[in-house]
Structure 1
Amino acid sequence: MPKQIDHDAHRQDIARKAAPLFSEHGYSGLGMRRIAEELGLSKSALYHYFPTKKSLFLACTEVVMTSAQAGSGNPGAADAPDPAEALIGFAKRMEPDFAREMSLLFDYLRGKTAEDIAADPAMRLANDHLRRQVESLVGEKQAEAVLCLLMGTLLMRHFTGGQLEFAAIRPLLDGLR
């Protein structure tokens, strides 16, 4: 009797294993042949589950966002006693992988137009995930501005070698909600 394969679970497993490859080598640094080799799959097996590198990248984004959401739970309920502290905690949890993820992101987006980026399902998925996390703390009205502040702070912390303190944005976050 042939072996029963849960194709959805196998597809998720491939994406989970491929995600670190994208982070390590970048989007343009990988081809489907190399990904298949790194995962110990035949190229045809990889193409069976993911007809394009872009479809694999989207699946990897879904796995990473689902994992991040499960790992962080709710970064802080809307009724948290100190939303500012919860937001800073959220940014601190993002920080260890921030530079690598931004490098991957810019590599992935290289050559795309603003319209391409706006319509890209991986970008929408990641942006929606981050926005929901921040909305849970500050509400829908302020989420976009606060997310910009957090992302900018992470970027500046990277550019200053961590010299910019999170305390610098605390006055802007106090009084939210």
Structure 2
Amino acid sequence: MPKIVDHELYRKKLLGKCFNLFAQKSYGSITMRQIAQGLGVSTGTLYHYFPNKKTLFKQFVEEINQQEMLMAMAELEGMQTLQEKLEAVGRYLSKNEDYFIKLTYILVDFRQHQDSKEPWGSGVFKRVDDQSRQALKDVLGIQDPALASFILGLIDGLILERLWGNENINFCEQFALLGKMLMAYLTNQETNCKSYSRNEQLL
């Protein structure tokens, strides 16, 4: 009886193993043949699942983003307040700092080998960005999309600071501080809304 292969699961497994390959050998340098060798499959098998390197990379980005969201949500499990949740995000980033620095190198290298006119905020990268923003809003209980974008931008900025070797940056400290700042900001917003509502009623 022939072996039944779950092609979707197998595709995801191949993508999951690509991180170290792209980290060790840049996107611009590595070939499909080398990727196949690194994964322990034939080039024919690799091309069966991915027609070219660019398609493989875009699917890789989407897959690792979903894995990151699952891991981050597990880290935040049981956290109740916004302060607790943000501090948990800081711990998650601190524990996985090396991974995120390598991922930044991988993404920047990919971008360097693309047409400069091709917008980053389209296709798979827009989907990944939208998914990350929505997951952040859901987990933290934040409705304001601009605030979610601010937090994602802060995360990227802190990772870049660590990539440059800035030893003054501590993820845990930064997110503990962010929690206090956001609590003050949200409290102020709530107070302003109540004040505006009372004024409207008086009018």
So what's the TM-score if we normalise by structure 2? 0.72
2:33 and 2:107 map into 1 onto residues whose CA distance is 21
Conservation of the 8 A alpha-carbon contact between 2:72 and 2:89: no
Per the TM alignment, residue 46 of structure 1 is displaced from its structure 2 partner at its CA by: 1.0
Name structure 1 gaps, 5 residues minimum. none
1:157 aligns with 2:162: yes
> Larger deviation: 104-113 or 15-24?
15-24
Among the aligned pairs, what percent are the same residue? 27
2:25 and 2:93 map into 1 onto residues whose CA distance is 24
1:116 aligns with one of 116, 119, 123 = 119
Larger radius of gyration: 2
Per the TM alignment, residue 52 of structure 1 is displaced from its structure 2 partner at its CA by: 1.1
Q: Give 1:139's aligned residue.
A: 142
Per the TM alignment, residue 114 of structure 1 is displaced from its structure 2 partner at its CA by: 5.6
Name structure 2 gaps, 5 residues minimum. 187-203
CA RMSD of aligned residues (A): 2.7
Per the TM alignment, residue 145 of structure 1 is displaced from its structure 2 partner at its CA by: 1.1
So what's the TM-score if we normalise by structure 1? 0.81
Per the TM alignment, residue 165 of structure 1 is displaced from its structure 2 partner at its CA by: 3.2
2:129 and 2:17 map into 1 onto residues whose CA distance is 22
Per the TM alignment, residue 149 of structure 1 is displaced from its structure 2 partner at its CA by: 1.7
The residue type paired with residue 155 of structure 1 is L
SS in 1 for 2:4: coil
Q: Give 1:102's aligned residue.
A: 104
Deviations 1:5-34 (A, max 9, x none): 222222222222223212221211211111
Q: Give 2:153's aligned residue.
A: 148
1:160 and 1:28 map into 2 onto residues whose CA distance is 24
1:174 aligns with 2:180: yes
Deviations 1:51-72 (A, max 9, x none): 1112211222233122222222
